Structure 1
Amino acid sequence: MTDTVKAPSTVWRNPWHFVAFGFGSGTLPKAPGTWGSLVALPFIPLWQMLPDWGYWLMLGVTMLFGCWLCGKVATDLKVHDHEGIVWDEMVGMWITLWLVPEGWVWLLLGFLVFRVMDIAKPWPIRWIDRHVHGGFGIMLDDVLAGVFAWLAMQLIVWAVL
């Protein structure tokens, strides 16, 4: 469950907070998760230049880093899963678009599919969001939303190509 709290000024002074808040995108007053997901998009063409295993490795590293980062920033702020912490949405977007063809149409479609999964939180994502805490919990619901969105994207790719 997300707590609604004003973005702290530490986002602009603490590099860990800045990264966790999606390079500042999580400070926007409306729909910070959507803004964080958008900030993730420019990275996709870079990740797509990696070999498939390199992209997969990057996902593993950013997920593990995210567990630590999100947990640290949540502890610093004394707020579990502050809505401005959007690193988890960024990683969810990167998962969604792994092995998806290049191009702006695929980026846009992936963005929409991920946002639907992240907002709708189909089972077991909603349960995890409410019951798993700490950095792992903050990351896990968005990682699973990314996996669900990835599966949907793979079906779309298979149907179209």
Structure 2
Amino acid sequence: MHKLYMVVALGFGSGCAPFAPGTFGTLAAVVPVLLTAGSPYYVKAIVFFIMLLLGTMSAQYHGEHTGEKDASEVVIDEIAAFYMIFLVFPVSTFTLVAGFILFRIFDITKPYPIKKLEKIDGGVGVMVDDLMAGFYSIICLGVLYYGYIMLFAHR
């Protein structure tokens, strides 16, 4: 189980990037987004649930094993949170790029209450702040996406 938890926590190696591991973890999240893009919603929901469950357990294990509360190389939280955006929006170049930019902005700047959520202990704390960044991204992407449709799709 040690190897499984560590591989999952480190985003299958994407968290081992020499700089900006969160950004590389978010880039790694594009893979499951694209792989499940044509799947029925229930499949995507199951994948997300597995990411949440395994992610929380892996982040908890990593913290206990290394002694680091929320190590930068743990990126399963970025992967799950970015994936969550595509439970709401269809996959397109626009939603991938805009969702990526928005998510990274919220994950890096941590506006209220994201910074407070970061203080929750254990695997739940590792996951929940990024999920809130994903939620903020969904709200902003909704404005951009539906604004884009209203401006350009009806012409």
TM-score by length of 2: 0.88
2:44 matched to 1:44? no
| 8 Å Cα contact 2:8/2:55 also seen in 1 | no
**One-letter code aligned to 1:153:** L
* SS of equivalent to 2:123: helix
Matching residue of 2:117 = 128
* SS of equivalent to 2:36: helix
User: Using the alignment, how far apart are the partners of 2:90 and 2:24 within structure 1?
Assistant: 23
Larger displacement relative to structure 2 (93-102 or 109-118): 93-102
| 8 Å Cα contact 1:98/1:150 also seen in 2 | no
- Structure 1 residue 102 displacement after superposition: 2.4
Identity %, equivalent residues? 29
**One-letter code aligned to 1:90:** I
Matching residue of 2:131 = 143
1:1-31 Cα distance to aligned partner (Å, 9 max, x none): xxxxxxxxxxxx9232122111111111211
Matching residue of 1:97 = 86
Larger displacement relative to structure 2 (24-33 or 82-91): 24-33
- Structure 1 residue 79 displacement after superposition: 1.0
**One-letter code aligned to 2:29:** A
**One-letter code aligned to 1:154:** G
1:69 counterpart (39, 58, 78): 58
**One-letter code aligned to 2:13:** G
**One-letter code aligned to 1:115:** R
2:9 counterpart (20, 25, 48): 20
Return 5+ residue gaps in structure 2 as ranges.
150-155
TM-score by length of 1: 0.85
**One-letter code aligned to 1:71:** Q
User: Using the alignment, how far apart are the partners of 2:14 and 2:48 within structure 1?
Assistant: 21
* SS of equivalent to 1:48: coil
User: Using the alignment, how far apart are the partners of 1:154 and 1:98 within structure 2?
Assistant: 12
- Structure 1 residue 83 displacement after superposition: 0.6
User: Using the alignment, how far apart are the partners of 1:99 and 1:49 within structure 2?
Assistant: 14
User: Using the alignment, how far apart are the partners of 1:58 and 1:15 within structure 2?
Assistant: 17
- Structure 1 residue 144 displacement after superposition: 0.8
- Structure 1 residue 154 displacement after superposition: 1.8
Count of aligned residue pairs for this structure pair: 148
